[in-house]
C-alpha cells in the first residue's frame, strides 16, 4: 500500500523541519541539473534557508549570473513593450476623442445657423428636423413650468385668503368688544350726569384730571366769635377782611 497524501503545512518540530529542508533541497538541485542536461535548458536556482544561508545552481555553460542578466533584459524588454503598447492605445483613444470633439463643435455651429455651406440637402433636412424637435421640447417644458407656477400662485392665493378671513374675524371680535365698552361708559355717564364720563372709552383717564385745583390762601381762616365770647368786634372784622385774600 502507498503512503497517504501529506498535507502541506509548516512543520512545527525544528529538527524534522531541518531534515525535510535538506532532503527537499538536494532533490530540487538534482532536478534542476537533470532538466538542464536532458532538455538543454538554461536553469538558475536560488534557495535561502530559514537561517539566511544561500544555495544556488546554474547551468554549466551559462552560470547563474549570466542567466540573471538575461532574465532582467527579458523583463525590461517586456515592460518596455507593454509601455509602448499602452502608449499607442492612449494615442488612438485621444485621436478618437479629438475627432468626436471636432464633430460636436461642427454640429453646434450648424445648429446655430453657421457653416451651412458644406451641408447637403439631406443633411439640411436632418438639421431642420432636429431643430423642430428641440423647439417642441422647449415649448413643452415652458408650458409645464408655467402651469407649475400658476398652481403655486393659486396655493398662495388660497393661503392669503384664509389669513385674511382670520384677520377679519379677529377685527370684528375686537370691534364688538370696543362697542360694548363704549356703551358701558355712556351708561355710566348718563347715570351720574357727569360730562367727564362722556369721553371716548379709548381715551385714558389721568389721575391729575381727577384731583382738585390747588388753592393759594394768605392769612388766617375765617374767625367767627362764639356767643358769650369776650373777643372784640374789630378783631372779627379784621378776620373777615383777611379772608378776602383767599384765591
Confidence check: pLDDT of 32 > 60: yes
Q: Which residue stretches of 193-231 are H helix?
A: 207-210
pLDDT at 202: 46
Confidence check: pLDDT of 85 > 90: no
Confidence check: pLDDT of 67 > 50: yes
Q: Which residue has the higher pLDDT, 75 or 104?
A: 104
Cell of 228: 358769650
Rounded to whole angstroms, how far apart are CA atoms 118 and 106?
A: 11
CA distances from 130 to 33, 111, 120, 133 (A): 76, 9, 15, 5
pLDDT at 151: 94
**pTM for the predicted model, two decimal places:** 0.33
17-54: string of b/e by CB count within 10 Å (b at 16+)? eeeebeeeeeeeeeebeeebeeeeeebbbeeeeeeeee
Confidence check: pLDDT of 27 > 90: yes
Confidence check: pLDDT of 138 > 80: yes
- The burial class, CB within 10 Å (0-12 / 13-18 / 19+), for 66 is middle
CB atoms within 10 A of CB 242: 16
Rounded to whole angstroms, how far apart are CA atoms 247 and 242?
A: 11
Rounded to whole angstroms, how far apart are CA atoms 247 and 218?
A: 8
pLDDT at 144: 94
pLDDT at 143: 94
Mean pLDDT computed over 184-210: 57
Q: Which residue has the higher pLDDT, 130 or 60?
A: 130
Query: Does residue 51 contact residue 17 with C-beta atoms inside 8 Å?
Result: no
Q: Which residue has the higher pLDDT, 229 or 169?
A: 169
pLDDT tens for 197-208 read 444 444 444 444
Query: Does residue 130 contact residue 111 with C-beta atoms inside 8 Å?
Result: yes
Q: Which residue has the higher pLDDT, 211 or 88?
A: 88
Mean pLDDT computed over 6-29: 88
Please provide the average confidence, as pLDDT, over all residues in the chain. 77
Mean pLDDT computed over 58-76: 79
CB atoms within 10 A of CB 58: 19
Mean pLDDT computed over 203-230: 48
Rounded to whole angstroms, how far apart are CA atoms 58 and 69?
A: 13
Residue tagged 538554461 (cell numbers)? 42
CA distances from 169 to 161, 162, 175 (A): 12, 11, 10
Mean pLDDT computed over 55-60: 82
30 — pLDDT class (breaks 50, 70, 90): very high
3-class SS at 120?
coil
Name the residue among 176, 212, 174, 181 with its Cα closest to residue 199.
181
pLDDT at 203: 47
Mean pLDDT computed over 155-171: 91
Among 93-97, 179-183, 215-219, the minimum mean pLDDT is found in 215-219
pLDDT at 154: 94
3-class SS at 188?
helix
Amino acid at each position: 500500500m502507498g503512503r497517504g497524501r501529506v498535507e502541506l503545512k509548516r512543520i512545527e518540530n525544528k529538527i524534522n523541519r531541518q531534515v525535510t529542508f535538506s532532503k527537499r533541497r538536494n532533490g530540487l538541485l538534482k532536478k534542476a541539473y537533470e532538466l538542464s542536461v536532458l532538455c538543454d535548458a538554461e536553469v538558475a536556482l536560488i534557495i535561502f534557508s530559514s537561517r539566511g544561508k544561500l544555495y544556488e545552481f546554474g547551468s554549466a555553460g551559462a552560470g547563474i549570473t549570466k542567466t540573471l542578466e538575461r532574465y532582467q533584459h527579458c523583463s525590461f524588454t517586456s515592460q518596455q513593450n507593454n509601455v509602448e503598447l499602452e502608449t499607442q492605445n492612449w494615442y488612438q483613444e485621444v485621436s478618437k476623442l479629438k475627432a468626436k470633439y471636432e464633430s460636436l463643435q461642427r454640429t453646434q455651429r450648424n445648429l446655430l445657423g453657421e457653416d451651412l455651406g458644406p451641408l447637403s440637402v439631406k443633411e439640411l433636412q436632418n438639421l431642420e428636423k432636429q431643430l423642430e424637435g428641440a423647439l417642441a421640447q422647449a415649448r413643452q417644458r415652458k408650458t409645464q413650468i408655467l402651469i407649475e407656477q400658476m398652481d403655486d400662485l393659486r396655493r398662495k392665493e388660497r393661503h392669503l385668503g384664509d389669513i385674511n378671513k382670520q384677520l377679519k374675524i379677529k377685527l370684528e371680535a375686537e370691534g364688538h368688544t370696543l362697542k360694548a365698552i363704549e356703551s358701558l361708559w355712556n351708561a355710566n355717564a348718563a347715570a351720574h350726569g357727569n360730562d367727564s364720563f362722556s369721553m371716548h372709552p379709548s381715551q385714558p383717564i389721568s389721575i391729575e384730571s381727577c384731583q382738585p385745583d390747588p388753592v393759594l390762601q394768605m392769612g388766617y381762616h375765617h374767625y367767627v366769635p362764639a356767643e358769650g365770647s369776650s373777643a372784640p368786634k374789630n378783631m372779627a372784622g379784621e378776620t373777615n377782611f383777611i379772608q378776602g385774600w383767599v384765591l
